[in-house]
DNA sequence: GCCGTTTTCGGCCCGACTGTTTTCAGTCG
């Protein structure tokens, strides 16, 4: 089950969406949206708060607190259920299609009776949308493309949600009588950016109590397969979970087998065959007499194949087995290598928490340094001004020494305009300790224009890091098109770091581009892009993505001591 | 619906882009 705060946040967001779809006051809807984000990002637990306590959360007033309290008490929100009765769930789904908002979704539903994405796709393809006022053939084409983008990521869970689900299930299975070990495997263990299902592996002599633990969970909506070695369920959130139970002595071989990837396993089995062995989920055996060679631990299985243990993030058959054989596996960066975070926000722009709270939370994470990088004025919705930024700098300087030995850097997240220019003239930029620069709009420019744009940003002596370089949103938006090889070369030449943005919705750069960029000698920054205290932990997903790209600690500038990092930042402006 | 060094009403996230229109509505970040 998702964290209670997230559940409530999702309900408030749904309420806001339904208000918009029913033509309710947009400001009212925005209030609920704001409350939804605020509640989800709230550091404390909602459970146990009364209506008065709830109102201490920013953006939560009397009315919203009442709805949350109602949910905590009864598990329902009457007002929400009333709106749900009016609007089919498919209409809200339609609203989630890029280029479709509440107005178009409501219009299409009202005029054509369309209430599912499939019906909309049909209506778009048969030209029925063109008859509606304000909609034309181009709109229909955009809707069809939008649905395709959405579908390409459909049915997949993002890394943070999948890991949380896996942890909850593994804990329940582990508590079952006779369970000796339990852990997640599959693409989730390889830390892919999104996963289609969640694989859980457990070790026990008797599987029945473990299977019962899974099927009996409140989050289990439906049992798809129920056998002695494998049980598959669908959760209330629609995710398929497979639980496999193996004898404890087979644990290592099963872990290798169920972690995959398929291509990695095929290569391992081929290697086994050549050595007169047979590898399966039950162990590594002598092909002749069937004698068991190895199976208890992963290390044992890999060793018997003449290989060192290979980190799961690398098991994609992208050369890791060859590298392992040659003794050239990279020593991958670990979360504990990170000394700081170089891209974070506060409530001065679109963050949720005030500066002091973010600093305190960052200090609690043990950071040696921490950069505050709120948005700059070109993102006009954030209403940044020179004066506000300078006041924040003063505020930050006054915090120096109040958070142990953590050093504070004053930075900003600049906006890379369509021509590659950024907010503020050089003289103002020179006042920052660090500048991240990111693309936030004009995603549709052609390849040449996007490349020129990124190259110009790299050439800017005050731009130290390119933030979320590809600008993708997983399952919702493909990134921009650019000549990436040219961008990597420019980053390497100019000493500009590329960000590995740890937000589970971005993971940008992605693993394959990281691997390509590092061949140019590019440096990277693994950042949380935190907009709330709870997001500071996003570094975990950034590290996982960096590991998939094969990064070592030395290639990541925020693993460096502050003096080396500062030298890197200074070198840019020379 | 929320909020307050313009404080109990009247603002609130502004500006650009897209696609449909000839002056604008809807969407997005």
Residue A2: the pLDDT is 61
Q: Is A458 within 8 Å of A486 (Cβ atoms)?
A: no
Distance CA A506, CA A525 (A): 14
Between CA A388 and CA A410 the distance in angstroms is: 13
CA of A473: nucleotide with nearest C1': B29
Check if residue A132 sits with its Cβ under 7 angstroms from strand B.
no
CATH of A335-573, one of 3.90.1170.40, 3.20.20.140, 3.40.190.170, 3.40.50.300: 3.20.20.140
Q: Which of A96, A218, A207 is nearest to A165 (CA)?
A: A218
Beta bridge partners of A280: A283
CA A430 – CA A152 distance, rounded (Å): 43
Please report the pLDDT score of residue A253 as a whole number.
Answer: 95
CA of A485 to C1' of B15 (A): 33
Straight-line distance from CA A13 to C1' B10, in Å?
A: 25
CA→C1' distance for A357 and B26 (Å): 37
Where does CATH 3.30.210.10 sit in chain A?
251-325
User: Dihedral of CA A112/A118/A124/A127: which sign?
Assistant: negative
Across residues A71-96, what is the average pLDDT? 94
A52 CA, B10 C1': Å apart? 25
Mean predicted lDDT score pLDDT of chain A = 93
Protein-proximal nucleotides of chain B (any atom < 7 Å from a CB): 1-3, 11-15, 17-21, 25-29
pLDDT single digits (tens) A372-382: 999 999 988 78
Radius of gyration over alpha carbons of chain A, in Å? 26
Lookup result for tokens 């890197």: A568
Q: In which residue ranges of chain A is CATH 3.20.20.140 found?
A: 335-573
CATH 3.30.460.10 positions along chain A are 157-246
DSSP one-letter code for A376: P
The 10s digit of each residue's pLDDT in A557-574 is 999 999 999 999 999 877
Asked if residue A133 keeps its beta carbon closer than 7 A to nucleic acid strand B, the reply is yes
- Structure confidence at residue A5 (pLDDT): 87
What is the Cα–Cα distance from A496 to A568, expressed in whole angstroms? 9
- Of A253, A255, A259, the closest CA to residue A278 belongs to A253
Tens digits of residue pLDDT in A298-355: 999 999 999 999 999 999 998 899 999 999 999 999 999 999 999 999 999 989 889 9
Cβ burial, residue A48 (10 Å; 0-12/13-18/19+): exposed
Point out the residue nearest to B15 (C-alpha to C1'): A380
The reply to whether A88 has its C-beta less than 7 Å from any atom of strand B is no
CA distance A193 to A158: 6
- Nucleic strand B near CB of residue A351 (< 7 Å): no
Nucleotide nearest A30, from its CA to each C1': B1
Strand pairing report for A465-467 and A524-527: unpaired
How many whole angstroms separate alpha carbon A244 and alpha carbon A181? 12
CB A439 within 8 A of CB A400: no
What is the rounded distance in angstroms from the CA atom of residue A115 to the CA atom of residue A110?
A: 9
Q: Which two tokens stand for residue A54?
A: 């709830």
Q: CA of A388 and C1' of B8: distance in angstroms? A: 28
Nearest residue (CA) to C1' of B25: A134
For the cut 60, the answer to whether the pLDDT of residue A1 exceeds it is: no
Distance A134 CA to B24 C1' (A): 10
What are the start-end ranges of the E strands in A160-265? 181-184, 194-195, 197-203, 220-226, 230-235, 240-246
Q: Find the Å distance, CA of residue A148 to C1' of nucleotide B28.
A: 19
Q: What is the mean pLDDT of residues A111-132?
A: 91
Q: Is it the case that residue A178 has pLDDT exceeding 90?
A: yes
Where would I find the H helices in A175-243?
186-189, 208-215
Q: How far apart are CA A242 and CA A562, in angstroms?
A: 45
Strand B reaches within 7 A of the A417 CB: no
CATH code linked to domain A157-246: 3.30.460.10
Nearest nucleotide from residue A101 CA, by C1' atom: B27
The dihedral sign for the CA sequence A197, A476, A26, A117? negative
Using C1' positions and the CA of A60, the closest nucleotide is B2
- Domain A251-325 in CATH 3.30.210.10? The answer is yes
| Region(s) of chain A under CATH 1.10.150.110 | 4-152
CA dihedral A505, A448, A418, A465 (to 10 degrees): 50
Q: pLDDT tens digits for A265-309?
A: 989 999 999 899 999 999 999 988 899 999 999 999 999 999 999
pLDDT tens sequence across A201-233: 999 999 999 999 999 999 998 888 888 899 999
Check whether A504 has a pLDDT greater than 70: yes
Gap between the terminal Cα atoms of chain A: 52
Rounded to the nearest 5 percent, the helix, strand and coil shares of chain A are: 50, 15, 35
Residue A472 CB closer than 7 angstroms to strand B?
no
Q: What is the DSSP string of A169-180?
A: HHHHHHTSTT--
The CATH superfamily of A4-152 is DNA polymerase beta, N-terminal domain-like (1.10.150.110)
Query: Quick one: which residue's CA is nearest to B3's C1'?
Result: A59
pLDDT tens profile A428-471: 999 999 999 999 999 988 899 999 999 999 999 999 999 999 99
């Amino acid at each position: 089950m998702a964290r209670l705060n997230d559940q409530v946040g999702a309900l408030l967001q749904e309420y806001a969406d339904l208000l918009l779809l029913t033509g309710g006051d947009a400001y009212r809807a925005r209030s609920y949206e704001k409350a939804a984000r605020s509640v989800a990002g709230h550091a404390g637990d909602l459970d146990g708060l009364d209506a008065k306590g709830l109102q201490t959360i920013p953006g939560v007033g009397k009315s919203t607190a009442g709805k949350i309290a109602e949910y905590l008490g009864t598990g329902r929100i009457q007002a929400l259920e009333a709106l749900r009765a009016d609007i089919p769930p498919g209409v809200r789904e339609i609203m989630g299609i890029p280029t479709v908002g509440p107005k178009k979704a409501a219009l299409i539903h009202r005029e054509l009776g369309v209430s599912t994405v499939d019906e909309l796709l049909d209506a778009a393809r048969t030209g029925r949308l063109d008859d509606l006022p304000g909609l034309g053939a181009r709109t229909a084409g955009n809707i069809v493309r939008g649905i395709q983008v959405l579908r390409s990521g459909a049915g997949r869970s993002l890394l943070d949600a999948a890991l949380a689900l896996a942890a909850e299930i593994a804990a329940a299975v582990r508590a079952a009588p006779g369970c000796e070990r339990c852990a997640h495997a599959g693409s989730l263990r390889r830390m892919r950016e999104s996963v289609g299902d969640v694989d859980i592996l457990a070790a026990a002599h008797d599987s029945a109590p473990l299977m019962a633990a899974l099927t009996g969970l409140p989050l289990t909506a439906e049992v798809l397969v129920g056998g002695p070695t494998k049980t598959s369920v669908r959760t209330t959130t629609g995710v398929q979970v497979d639980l496999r139970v193996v004898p404890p002595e087979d644990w290592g071989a099963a872990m290798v087998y169920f972690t995959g990837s398929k291509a990695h396993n095929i290569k391992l089995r081929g290697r086994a065959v050549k050595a007169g062995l047979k590898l399966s989920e039950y162990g590594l055996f002598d092909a002749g007499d069937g004698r068991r060679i190895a199976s208890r631990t992963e290390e044992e299985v890999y060793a018997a194949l003449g290989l060192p243990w290979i980190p799961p993030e690398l098991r994609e058959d992208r050369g890791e087995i060859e590298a392992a054989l040659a003794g050239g596996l990279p020593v991958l960066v670990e979360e504990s290598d990170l000394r700081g975070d170089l891209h974070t926000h506060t409530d001065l722009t679109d963050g949720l928490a005030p500066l002091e709270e973010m600093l305190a939370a960052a200090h609690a994470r043990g950071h040696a340094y921490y950069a505050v990088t709120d948005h700059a004025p070109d993102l006009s919705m954030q209403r940044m001004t020179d004066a506000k930024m300078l006041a924040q700098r003063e505020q930050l300087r006054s915090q120096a020494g109040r958070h142990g030995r953590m050093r504070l850097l004053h930075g900003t997240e600049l906006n890379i305009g369509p021509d590659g220019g950024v907010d503020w003239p050089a003289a103002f930029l020179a006042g920052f300790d660090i500048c991240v620069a990111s693309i936030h709009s004009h995603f549709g420019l052609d390849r040449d224009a996007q490349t020129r744009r990124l190259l110009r940003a790299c050439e800017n002596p005050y731009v130290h890091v390119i933030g979320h370089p590809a600008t993708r949103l997983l399952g919702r938006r493909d990134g921009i098109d650019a000549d990436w090889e040219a961008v990597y070369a420019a980053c390497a030449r100019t000493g500009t770091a590329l960000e590995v943005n740890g937000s589970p919705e971005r993971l940008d750069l992605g693993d394959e581009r990281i691997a390509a960029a590092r061949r140019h000698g590019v440096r990277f920054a693994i950042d949380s892009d935190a907009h709330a205290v709870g997001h500071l932990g996003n570094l975990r997903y950034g590290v996982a993505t960096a590991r998939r790209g094969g990064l070592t600690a030395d290639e990541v500038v925020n693993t460096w001591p502050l003096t080396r990092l500062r030298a890197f930042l200074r070198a840019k402006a020379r």
